[in-house]
Copies of this chain bind each other. A is one copy, B any other.
Amino acid sequence: MKKVVTFGEIMLRLAPEGYCRFVQANTFAAAYGGGEANVAVSLAGYGLPAVFVSRLPAHEIGQAAVNSIRAFGVDVSRIIRGGSRVGIYFLEKGAAQRPSKVIYDRAHSAISEASVGDFDWQAIFAEACWFHFTGITPALSDNLVAICLQACKAAKAGGLTVSCDLNYRKNLWSREKAGAVMTRLLEYVDVCIANEEDISDVLGIKAGGSDVQAGLINREGYRETAAELFKRFGFQQVAITLRESISASDNNWAAMLFSGGEYYFSRKYPVHIVDRVGGGDSFAAGLIYAALREMPPQKRLEFAVAASCLKHSIEGDFNLVSAEEVEKLAAGDGSGRVQR
């Protein structure tokens, strides 16, 4: 099978144990993760040849980041080594009414200081069929805007499908800059993935009648949003994740898909959260996998939503589930009975 290539940053994730606050932490659980790396790990777990492209320092913390995804079968041969920092994010897990907190310490990371010319996209895409990135990568530096543009062009030239998860991060860039840059990049994108907030923040398209804070979701508004995205960028597919945040411990999770001119809505899962970081990435990976397996739209959507539902029950950024496990849930078995 042809390869799926993802491109972005992988960070060191440092989380206090259990529900401890930052000021209580005497140890940090150390893991690695980042939007595109998370997608690559998911895909490798489903049995696809997944390649993660990035830049990491030559030192041992950089090596540990490499090993963290190589362990799960991701092809790391396209990661170049250089720079001095692995980006870091500190994660404090919330509970009940107390939200999770993320402190980013990612400025000056090796990938953010990558140079145009560091990556030979033609070679990287040689045997690939799909390219995925998120809105975080171009937000990291101006060089990365240029590199993403190169990658997108090379991908289209090579006949790859290009998917992008909007993923707006307000502490990396302004809405204005995000809007301008992403508008250029989305030109090359076939499959657009986003949540409602991203679409509003980056592209200024607001769904009527929803209130993210209150957890209310309005189906009609989402239809309009998808339609507007399609109109503006001509995407093959638009997928929008719908999160209702009841508390830091409990969310509802669903998604819609616009594909082939039709709108599909998934089942809605009540998710009792073990770790919600990477939830969106697991959705994107599910969608890519389902597309490559040529599932019909509703099944594709249900696979992606079930995959990300399961992610919420797994520690760390990575969605360490098999396709069989996802399919079992997508087929309706969420009873959680012991598997012996």
Contact = CB atoms under 8 A, between A and B. Distances in A.
State the 4 A-B residue pairs at the shortest beta-carbon distance, nearest first. A248-B336, A71-B71, A22-B60, A97-B334
Given A100-B336, A103-B61, A71 B68 contact: yes
Given A22-B61, A25-B64, A97 B269 contact: yes
A315 B20 contact: yes
Query: In the complex this chain forms, how many copies of it are found?
Result: 6
A73 interface: yes
A333 interface: yes
B72 A67 contact: yes
Given A19-B314, A22-B64, A313-B19, A213 B333 contact: yes
Interface of A: 14, 18-31, 59-61, 63-64, 67-68, 70-73, 84-86, 88, 90, 92, 94-105, 107-108, 169-171, 212-215, 245-250, 269, 271-274, 276-277, 306, 309-310, 312-316, 320-321, 325, 329, 333-340
A27 B24 contact: no
Nearest to A64: B23
**For the complex, would chain A's binding face be called helix, strand, loop or mixed by DSSP majority?**
loop
A330 to B, nearest CB: 10
A27 B29 contact: yes
Contacts of A104: 340
Contact of A59 (B103, B170, B309): B103
B30 A337 contact: no
5 contacts: A14-B28, A19-B315, A59-B103, A97-B334, A99-B335
Contact of A99 (B59, B277, B338): B338
A246 B335 contact: yes
B247 A96 contact: no
Given A60-B22, A272-B247, A96 B28 contact: no
Contacts of A90: 60-61
